[in-house]
Amino acid sequence: MLPHKHNYHSFFDVDQHLSEMGIAAYVDALINDVVAELPEPIIIHLQTCPSCKGNAIAIYLLEKKQKEINLKKIFPKNTPFSQK
Ligand SMILES: [Zn+2]
């Protein structure tokens, strides 16, 4: 899930904020409920940087919404046998 778990560097951008990969790792962890397993530098940064956290939460909500839409496609709302 986190292929470069020991390479914390790739999770951060040159500007010291989370890179796309860092954000993606956090979003992934949120979705799978394993935030505590994230590399510590990511957790610490998110605790101190509202900007990165805001980005991540926005993406997370978007992905969650997307998932719900997909679920609705698979299971359309109650389709009784007779709809008359
Ligand atoms: Zn940041």
The model's pLDDT over 19-62, given as tens digits with 9 standing for 90+, comes to 999 999 999 999 999 999 999 999 999 999 999 999 999 999 99
47 C-alpha to ligand 1 centroid (Å): 9
Tokens for 2, please give them.
């986190």
58 C-alpha to ligand 1 centroid (Å): 14
Predicted model pTM: 0.72
56 C-alpha to ligand 1 centroid (Å): 10
In angstroms, how far is CA 54 from the centroid of its own chain?
11
Distance CA 26, CA 76 (A): 30
Say if residue 82's pLDDT is above 80. no
Say if residue 72's pLDDT is above 70. yes
| Coil, helix or strand at residue 71 | helix
> Which residue type sits at 74?
I
pLDDT value at position 84? 54
Confidence at 74, pLDDT banded by 50, 70, 90: confident
Say if residue 6's pLDDT is above 60. no
17 C-alpha to ligand 1 centroid (Å): 4
pLDDT value at position 1? 47
